């Protein structure tokens, strides 16, 4: 990797104007749609009771999914918790549920809509709950990137691999171009599969939209070097790369990142080691490469939970992932004598995940109980067909 390709935060503006969260309308993006109707006040002392009553009234007609990064006040009403892919599959396994209320973010609700039957309706309690990472790769930008790869004469050797944390449009692009989706748990298997799709010495992967997961998997799990990776910057002409760089690369990483995991730094790791002697540092692979390289363990949210379940009493852990989950795990394992702290000293919630709060959940459940379908997330048929193809390739991974 050249110095110009050093991993860094993408601070450039996206081509979409930022809308105030929850205000105005931009239904094609991951952010910014007004919530129709009146939300209950956050100070309403009856919110818990109202959520319980509405859920009870809906019975088996509703299935509430809670992503690991959701607030406790919301998680208490989840029928099942998990990462985005597990939740989408859980929803598909409950065909009797007419309404799937997804307490997570927009791309997750899209994936649930793709994987559930046409009769099931997916609801996102606040349409402003988007994902900044997913918004870093738009359909137009990715189509332009493919033109750049075609002009450089490499498109035929490129297999796209897109992280689950991407819009339905990007998943459809991936399906259309012979690629697969991956999660943070199966990224290595997805890359192995991609390199088997052509002549291994010339095949390349276009990894979207999280440069860090792509780089960490290629270098840490597959033995590639940093020089095998280049970063395609959609804000620069030709992605900021020459045709020669594209031809030499094995991994073409999209310049996207998670705003939450991208905040952890090497200093966070060094600080916590100095503060807590003997601490085990466990981080998510969406963290920057230098953080992952300095950590003791690296894995998805499901991996993090299992590692802490298996940890011996008296062990100490610093966790590099979203704060709601870390706090919940710290409280859960404290009685077992496991000391769990957040890796960074500063607060690091996912602000869009936190958009889903009890007032929005109550509003969505009560609306459904009254027969009003609100905030439905529906992917159009053509996009769904190609996105499903990419998701099915992932399901078929060995
Ligand atoms: S934690 Fe990161 S990847 Fe997940 S929803 Fe928030 S911004 Fe997106």
Per-residue pLDDT tens for 33-55? 555 567 888 788 899 999 999 99
CB contact set of 115 (below 8 Å; sequence gap of 6+): 88, 89, 91, 92, 388, 391
pLDDT reported for residue 34 = 56
Separation between Cα atoms, residue 197 and residue 254, nearest integer Å: 20
Mean pLDDT (whole number) for 229-245: 98
In the CATH scheme, what is the homologous superfamily, with its name and number, of domain 47-129+352-379? NadA-like (3.40.50.10800)
Task: Give residue 4 CA to ligand 1 midpoint distance, Å.
Answer: 26
Planar angle of CA 364, 369, 370, nearest 5 degrees? 100
Q: Which of 15-19, 106-110, 159-163 has the lowest mean pLDDT?
A: 15-19
Task: Give residue 353 CA to ligand 1 midpoint distance, Å.
Answer: 7
pLDDT reported for residue 28 = 55
**Taking 90 as the threshold, does the pLDDT of residue 14 lie above it?**
no
CB contact set of 135 (below 8 Å; sequence gap of 6+): 14, 16, 29, 30, 31, 167
Measure CA 54 to chain center. Answer: 29
Q: Which amino acid residue places its CA nearest to atom 3 of ligand 1? A: 258
Mean pLDDT (whole number) for 239-263: 97
| Closest to 148 in 3D by CA, of 241, 10, 249, 251 | 241
Mean pLDDT (whole number) for 80-93: 88
pLDDT reported for residue 42 = 79
**Taking 90 as the threshold, does the pLDDT of residue 201 lie above it?**
no
**Taking 70 as the threshold, does the pLDDT of residue 393 lie above it?**
yes
DSSP state of 25: B
134-257 against 261-342: fold identical? yes
**Taking 80 as the threshold, does the pLDDT of residue 32 lie above it?**
no
Q: What is the CATH number of domain 134-257?
A: 3.40.50.10800
Average per-residue pLDDT for the chain: 91
Q: Label residue 192 exposed, middle or buried (CB < 10 Å: 0-12, 13-18, 19+).
A: middle
What's the pLDDT tens digit per position in 266-281? 999 999 999 999 999 9
pLDDT reported for residue 66 = 97
First-to-last alpha carbon distance for the chain, in angstroms, is 30
Cβ 165 under 6 angstroms from ligand 1: yes
Contact 128, 355 (CB under 8 A): yes
Q: Label residue 228 exposed, middle or buried (CB < 10 Å: 0-12, 13-18, 19+).
A: middle
CB contact set of 150 (below 8 Å; sequence gap of 6+): none
What's the pLDDT tens digit per position in 91-109? 889 999 999 999 999 999 9
Cβ 213 under 6 angstroms from ligand 1: no
Q: Which helix (H) or strand (E) holds 316?
A: strand 316-320
Cβ 154 under 6 angstroms from ligand 1: no
pLDDT reported for residue 241 = 98
Mutate to test the pocket of ligand 1, among 70, 108, 131, 212 (most ligand atoms within 8 A of CB): 131
| Closest to 381 in 3D by CA, of 168, 146, 96, 182 | 168
Contact 135, 31 (CB under 8 A): yes
pLDDT reported for residue 33 = 54
Task: Give residue 263 CA to ligand 1 midpoint distance, Å.
Answer: 12
- Residue percentage of the chain with pLDDT more than 90: 82
Task: Give residue 258 CA to ligand 1 midpoint distance, Å.
Answer: 5
| Closest to 375 in 3D by CA, of 359, 362, 364, 361 | 364
| Closest to 131 in 3D by CA, of 73, 210, 231, 47 | 210
DSSP state of 198: S
Mean pLDDT (whole number) for 246-258: 98
Mutate to test the pocket of ligand 1, among 110, 126, 165 (most ligand atoms within 8 A of CB): 165
Contact 315, 281 (CB under 8 A): no
Separation between Cα atoms, residue 294 and residue 297, nearest integer Å: 9
**Taking 80 as the threshold, does the pLDDT of residue 291 lie above it?**
yes
What's the pLDDT tens digit per position in 114-153? 999 999 999 999 988 999 999 999 999 999 999 999 999 9
Contact 254, 216 (CB under 8 A): no
Return the CATH class of domain 261-342.
alpha beta
Q: If phi over 0 gives left and psi between -120 and 50 gives alpha, with beta otherwise, what is residue 24?
A: left
pTM value is 0.89
Cβ 260 under 6 angstroms from ligand 1: yes
Cβ 384 under 6 angstroms from ligand 1: no
Residue-range domain boundaries for the chain:
47-129+352-379, 134-257, 261-342
pLDDT reported for residue 10 = 45
Q: Which atom of ligand 1 is nearest to the CA of 259?
A: 7
């Amino acid at each position: 990797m050249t110095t110009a390709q050093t991993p860094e935060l993408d601070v450039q503006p996206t081509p979409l104007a930022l809308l105030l969260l929850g205000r105005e309308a931009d239904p094609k993006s991951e952010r910014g749609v007004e919530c129709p109707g009146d939300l209950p006040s956050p100070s309403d002392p009856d919110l818990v009771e109202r959520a319980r009553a509405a859920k009870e009234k809906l019975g088996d007609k509703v299935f509430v999914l809670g992503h690991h990064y959701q607030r406790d006040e919301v998680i208490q009403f989840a029928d099942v918790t998990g990462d985005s892919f597990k939740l989408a599959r859980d929803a598909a396994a409950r065909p009797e549920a007419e309404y799937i209320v997804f307490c997570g973010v927009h791309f997750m609700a899209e994936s649930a809509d793709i994987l559930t039957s046409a009769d099931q309706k997916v609801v996102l309690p606040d349409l402003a709950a988007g994902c900044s990472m997913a918004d870093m790769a738009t359909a137009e930008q990715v189509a332009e990137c493919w033109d750049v790869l075609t002009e450089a004469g490499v498109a035929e050797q490129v297999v796209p691999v897109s992280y689950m944390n991407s819009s339905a449009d990007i998943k459809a692009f991936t399906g259309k171009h012979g690629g697969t989706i991956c999660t943070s748990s199966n990224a290595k298997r997805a890359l192995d599969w991609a390199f088997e799709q052509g002549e291994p010495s010339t095949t390349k992967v276009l990894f979207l939209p999280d440069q860090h997961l792509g780089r960490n998997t290629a270098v840490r799990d597959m033995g590639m070097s940093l020089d095998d990776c280049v970063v395609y910057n959609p804000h620069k002409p030709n992605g900021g790369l020459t045709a020669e760089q594209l031809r030499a690369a094995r991994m073409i990483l999209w310049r996207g990142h998670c705003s939450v995991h991208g905040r952890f730094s090497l200093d966070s790791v060094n600080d916590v080691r100095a503060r807590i002697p003997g601490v085990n540092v466990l981080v998510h692979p969406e963290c920057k490469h230098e953080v992952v390289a300095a950590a003791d363990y690296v894995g998805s949210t499901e991996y993090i939970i299992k590692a802490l379940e298996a940890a011996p009493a008296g062990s100490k852990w610093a966790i590099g992932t979203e704060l709601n989950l870390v706090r919940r795990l710290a409280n859960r394992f404290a009685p077992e004598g496991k000391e769990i702290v957040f890796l960074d000293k500063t607060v690091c919630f996912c602000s869009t995940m936190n958009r889903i709060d009890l007032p929005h959940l109550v509003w969505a459940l009560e609306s459904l109980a009254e027969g009003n379908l609100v905030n439905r997330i529906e992917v159009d048929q053509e996009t769904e067909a190609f996105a499903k193809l990419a998701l099915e390739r992932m399901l078929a991974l060995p």
